[in-house]
């Protein structure tokens, strides 16, 4: 009941509201009874895109760049500081420089090039992703809960030679795999954060080049390559499962797959919500999972802003107060935790009345 109450206050659509988008099929259509399918408002064709000028993830971002008027795009903050913003143009330029730098470091244009991204949610994650899309390369997200064995398996299976990481300890983990001769194909590790010279020297000993993301961008700025945008049927990302039933399995998604996914989301929610440049997305759910990236794509497509949490769940409420988001992809468990924390503080009848009154006023806006 707690989660349902919060969903009601947030004015999210109920399942009953979505019934208009479904119809029953006859029993002869499929064996068994009660088969159902989405017809998205009576359309007989599959919905492949929502906007004609946004059929790939590269075009999605370029559309946002255009309609935002080079507005704020990616936000981050330090403790007890306001959010700082990178503009759409800054993000697009950095992505081109990073992508060009990758090409100068033996990466190739096209869908045969797989680039790993092993980082927590932050602006550089999106810049790395967009860099790959700008030159038709494929993103392969990696994440902590995969475990060392699964990470080496994915690097070998996807033939990944380059991985972009956020922190030095993740680079160290990757080097350990190379030193044990578990991932012989890994040749370049790029770090978003500063690192010691000892890490670079350790990489040299096992044949891995350790570079800063800034150095790769600087290289790309000096050796700029014209963008080579992908087509809708080109591979965009490979999302690997956590491997709970054996080795991780990779879900291969084309640009058209991802665009169709968020286009369906837009179609189903268009009677409830119309995204604009004024929308602000709070990025907390892992970018290695498609749900978070799908919702972010909706925001970018409409020129909105994405603000990232500091990386510490204990500071989540503080980040939200500073950002004041209009969009917050979340899981029920966190909503329940927030609900309990709020109502636990309302320990008198007067406080409870004031809280309920404030919630009703907010709902009426």
What is the structure's pLDDT at 29? 47
Q: In terms of C-beta density within 10 A (0-12 exposed, 13-18 middle, 19 or more buried), how is residue 329 classed?
A: middle
> What integer is the mean pLDDT of 172-194?
98
Q: What is the pLDDT of residues 36-47, one digit of tens each?
A: 555 555 566 789
Helices 332-345 and 2-9 sit at what angle, rounded to 10 degrees?
90
What is the structure's pLDDT at 8? 52
Name the residue among 250, 260, 291 with its Cα closest to residue 139: 250
Q: How crowded is the C-beta side of 76, counted as CA atoms within 13 Å?
A: 13
Task: Calculate the CA 232 to chain-centre distance.
Answer: 19
145 pLDDT higher than 80: yes
> What integer is the mean pLDDT of 235-251?
88
> What integer is the mean pLDDT of 45-59?
94
Q: Read out DSSP for 26-80? A: PTTTSSSS--EEE-TTT-SS----SSTT-SSHHHHHHHHHHHTTS-EEEEE--TT
68 pLDDT higher than 60: yes
Q: Write down the pTM of the prediction.
A: 0.85
> What integer is the mean pLDDT of 183-191?
98
> Mean of the per-residue pLDDT values for the chain?
88
Q: Is there a contact between 302 and 275 (Cβ–Cβ < 8 Å)? A: yes
Domains of the chain: 57-323 (3.40.50.12780), 331-365 (no CATH)
Q: What is the pLDDT of residues 11-22, one digit of tens each?
A: 555 545 544 444
Ranked by mean pLDDT, the top range of 4-8, 143-147, 282-286 is 282-286
What is the structure's pLDDT at 2? 53
253 pLDDT higher than 50: yes
């Amino acid at each position: 009941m707690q989660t349902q109450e919060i969903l009601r206050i947030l004015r999210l659509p109920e399942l009953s509201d979505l019934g208009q988008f479904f119809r029953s099929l006859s029993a002869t259509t499929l064996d068994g009874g009660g088969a159902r399918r989405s017809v998205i408002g009576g359309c007989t064709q599959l919905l492949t895109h929502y906007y004609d000028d946004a059929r790939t993830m590269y075009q999605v971002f370029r559309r946002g760049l255009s309609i935002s008027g080079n507005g704020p795009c990616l936000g981050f903050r330090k403790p007890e500081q306001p959010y700082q913003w990178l503009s759409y143009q800054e993000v697009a330029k950095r992505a081109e420089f990073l992508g060009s730098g990758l090409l100068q470091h033996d990466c190739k244009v096209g869908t045969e090039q797989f680039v790993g991204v092993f980082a927590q949610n932050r602006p550089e994650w999106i810049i790395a992703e967009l860099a790959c899309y700008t030159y038709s390369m494929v993103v392969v997200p990696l994440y902590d809960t995969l475990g060392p064995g699964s990470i080496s398996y994915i690097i070998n299976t996807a033939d990944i030679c380059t991985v972009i990481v956020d922190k030095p300890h993740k680079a160290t983990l990757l080097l350990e795999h190379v030193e044990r001769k578990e991932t012989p194909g890994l040749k370049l590790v790029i770090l978003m954060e500063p690192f010691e010279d000892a890490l670079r020297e350790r990489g040299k000993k096992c044949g891995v080049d350790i570079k800063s993301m800034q150095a790769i961008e600087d290289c790309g700025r000096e050796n700029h390559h014209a963008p080579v945008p992908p087509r809708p049927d080109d591979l965009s990302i490979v999302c690997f499962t956590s491997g709970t039933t054996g080795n991780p399995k990779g879900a291969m998604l084309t640009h058209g797959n991802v665009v169709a996914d968020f286009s369906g989301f837009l179609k189903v929610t268009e009677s409830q919500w119309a995204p604009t440049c004024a929308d602000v997305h709070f990025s907390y759910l892992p970018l290695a999972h498609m749900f978070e990236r799908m919702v972010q794509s909706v925001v970018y497509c409409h020129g909105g802003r994405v603000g990232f949490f500091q990386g510490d769940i204990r500071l989540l409420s503080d980040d939200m107060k500073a950002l004041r988001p209009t969009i917050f992809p979340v899981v029920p468990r966190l909503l329940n935790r927030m609900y309990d924390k709020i109502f636990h503080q309302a320990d008198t009848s007067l406080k409870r009345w004031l809280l309920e009154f404030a919630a009703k006023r907010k709902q009426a806006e």
